[in-house]
Structure 1
Amino acid sequence: MNALLDLDQLRTFIAIAETGSFTKAAEQVNKTQSAVSMQMRRLEERVGQTIFVRDGRQSRVTDTGLRLLDYARRMLSLNAETIAAFSSDAMSGKVRLGLPDDYAPRLLPTVLASFATTHPNIEIEVVCEQSSCIHRRIQDGRLDLGIVTHGNRTQERNGRIIRSEPLLWVSSAHHSVHCQATIPLALGTKTCTWRAAATEALSKAGKKYRIAYVSSSAAAHTGAVMAGLAISVLPESALTSDMRVLGEREGFPEMKHCDIALLRSENARDRIHNALAAHIVNALDNVSGGAALAAE
């Protein structure tokens, strides 16, 4: 294969892989859906192998496509780094970003990795704490931007909601702890918005529960769930294949949606803050937890 790879095609390919949708990728790269489809056909011709395969009414990235994805990201990253190295107008500096560890595993790889590709000279300092702690740090000027669970507290009314998704009851797919007469729960501390929503919903439904595990760490909740020791609540995009979603059939009431908001310090008004804030708003709405790509 002697043909040169087109960086614009690779950028579109990455967008499809990260958004999980041809349509969303087209919006992200400002192209029509037909143009995106044409780019992918030409990319497959250049690579000489199939990077998407039909699966019923959907398309999936093939093993070859997954290999190409790694190369594509590195090529675009090197391209951005090269341009930045010779640009007198390249943005540089440090942005302090806070977010709960509930969001870190699924947001950091997608949101911040793509930002680093286009802004290699901007350093991002990440702090993982509860939403309430992040809000205080934003108010005190110790953080520039914060991604938090948006509650009804007055202090968060100025936060911009940038994503909303269902909050779900989850258990291990390999255990039946949800069948106990008194349900053991793994939840956050008393200031946690999800804890308040979960206990209120169970109380209204007349379902007995006990809080068995308390931690500000999402990893601790997940560990208790996967060990079959408790159930917990998680937003839809945080689900894994080893989890079971519990609903009304199992006696668990429907939960409200979880709103995610972007907070910003009064002093965070430089170009680098604007760039990261805009990137988060654009990218977070496109976070996809699956590898299947809708054939839209």
Structure 2
Amino acid sequence: MATMLDLDQLRTFVAIADSGSFTRAAETVHKTQSAVSMQMRRLEERIGKPIFGRDGRSAKLTEDGERLLGYARRMVRLSDETMAAFDDDELSGRVRLGTPDDYADRFLPEILARFSRSNPRVEVTVVCEPTVQLIECLREGGLDLGIITNIKGTPMTEVVRQEPLLWVVSNHHQLEQDDVLPLALGRDTCCWRKSAIEALSPIGRRYRILYSSNNSTAVSAAVLAGLAISVMPESALRPGMRVLGEADGFPRLPPCEIGLVRAWNKPSNPIVDALAEHIVSSLDNLSMQIAAE
């Protein structure tokens, strides 16, 4: 008789793979760490192969573990979709989410994947605009929820993540040695641009804004090509970028605060509430992944 896989064990396995830690996975699946460890031993017995190779405090997948992960995700997702299909109380409708494109690139894949699995009947409309425009749309009711860069004075903002704002340059160039720093920054309304300029002015460091764009991909391209220095949050760093610090003559920048904002003067909505919960959960998970690296 063929060995049957346990869906609860697979769900725990996926949680470990996503968080990189047995301890954090135990919190996610609401089990003790010893129960999680026992589940994984039994799963390895069922598979007949080791799926984890211990590396310090994190749990790294073996080659067989990586192979199992794809099947496990599909089985857990199908189970969730099946249960949702027979849930008469399942949410349905539409929600409008706004976010700058740099946050969309980094955060939306996990947020939307999680939300869609739990709420397959909800249509999510995503609008990518700079924070200032998103705040205006939320004020006018054109959006239901926004992931924004927190700006002082913006009402009803819940700060859901904070990370360092960093000076970055190409790995293969020493632009920090130029007499006049070439910069690639956002447009005039960008608060990161304002932070960069305000930090350089008191120390008398000369600069020129060589590239200006609200598109994070364009700014990153200028940095990676060795054309300019920029500022960006820690989670936006890409391979090929190098961080410049105080030892390089660059002042410390204020942290980047990521806020969650709901539309003004709108009644509570269960769909918006559900999406907000998934956003907070996904950003918490990202924080754990960065801490584990």
Superposed CA RMSD: 2.1
The residue number in structure 2 matching 1:225 is 223
Pick closer, same or farther for the CA change 1:52–1:241 going to 2, 3 Å. Answer: farther
Q: Check whether the contact 2:20–2:59 (CA below 8 A) recurs between aligned residues.
A: no
Q: Quote how far apart the aligned CAs of 1:182 are.
A: 1.3
In terms of mean alpha carbon deviation, does 238-247 or 54-63 score higher? Answer: 54-63
> C-alpha deviations, 1:80-131, integer Å up to 9, x for none?
2111222211111111111111111221121211121122111211111111
Specify which of 163, 179, 191 is matched with residue 193 of structure 1.
191
Pick closer, same or farther for the CA change 1:50–1:239 going to 2, 3 Å. Answer: farther
Pick closer, same or farther for the CA change 1:71–1:163 going to 2, 3 Å. Answer: same
Q: Check whether the contact 1:110–1:287 (CA below 8 A) recurs between aligned residues.
A: no
Pick closer, same or farther for the CA change 1:264–1:171 going to 2, 3 Å. Answer: same
- Give the secondary-structure state (helix, strand or coil) at the position aligned to 1:287: helix
Q: Quote how far apart the aligned CAs of 1:71 are.
A: 2.1
Q: Check whether the contact 2:187–2:212 (CA below 8 A) recurs between aligned residues.
A: yes
Aligned 1:21-170 pairs, distance under 5 A = 21-152=21-152, 154=153, 156-170=154-168
Tell me the TM-score normalized by structure 1: 0.91
Separation (CA, whole Å) in 1 of partners of 2:132 and 2:143: 13
Pick closer, same or farther for the CA change 1:257–1:16 going to 2, 3 Å. Answer: farther
Number of aligned residue pairs: give it.
292
Q: Which has the higher helix share?
A: 2
Aligned 1:260-279 pairs, distance under 5 A = 260-265=258-263, 266-267=265-266, 269-279=268-278
Task: Read off the aligned partner of 2:120 and give its amino acid letter.
Answer: P
Pick closer, same or farther for the CA change 1:275–1:58 going to 2, 3 Å. Answer: closer
Separation (CA, whole Å) in 2 of partners of 1:31 and 1:206: 56
Pick closer, same or farther for the CA change 1:124–1:54 going to 2, 3 Å. Answer: same
The residue number in structure 2 matching 1:214 is 212
Pick closer, same or farther for the CA change 1:160–1:226 going to 2, 3 Å. Answer: same
Structure number with greater CO (CA < 8 Å, separation at least 6) is 1
Separation (CA, whole Å) in 1 of partners of 2:108 and 2:255: 22
Q: Does 1:4 align with 2:4?
A: yes
- The runs of 5 or more residues in structure 2 that have no matched partner are none
In terms of mean alpha carbon deviation, does 33-42 or 276-285 score higher? Answer: 33-42
Structure 1 stretches (4+) deviating beyond 6 angstroms?
none
Identical-pair percentage: 55
Task: Read off the aligned partner of 2:22 and give its amino acid letter.
Answer: F
The residue number in structure 2 matching 1:250 is 248
- Give the secondary-structure state (helix, strand or coil) at the position aligned to 2:285: coil
Task: Read off the aligned partner of 1:132 and give its amino acid letter.
Answer: V
Separation (CA, whole Å) in 2 of partners of 1:44 and 1:243: 39
Task: Read off the aligned partner of 1:242 and give its amino acid letter.
Answer: G
Q: Check whether the contact 1:52–1:61 (CA below 8 A) recurs between aligned residues.
A: yes
Q: Check whether the contact 1:76–1:117 (CA below 8 A) recurs between aligned residues.
A: no
The residue number in structure 2 matching 1:202 is 200
The residue number in structure 1 matching 2:279 is 280
Q: Quote how far apart the aligned CAs of 1:56 are.
A: 4.3
- Give the secondary-structure state (helix, strand or coil) at the position aligned to 2:286: coil
- The runs of 5 or more residues in structure 1 that have no matched partner are none
Tell me the TM-score normalized by structure 2: 0.92
In terms of mean alpha carbon deviation, does 249-258 or 279-288 score higher? Answer: 279-288
Separation (CA, whole Å) in 2 of partners of 1:90 and 1:61: 34
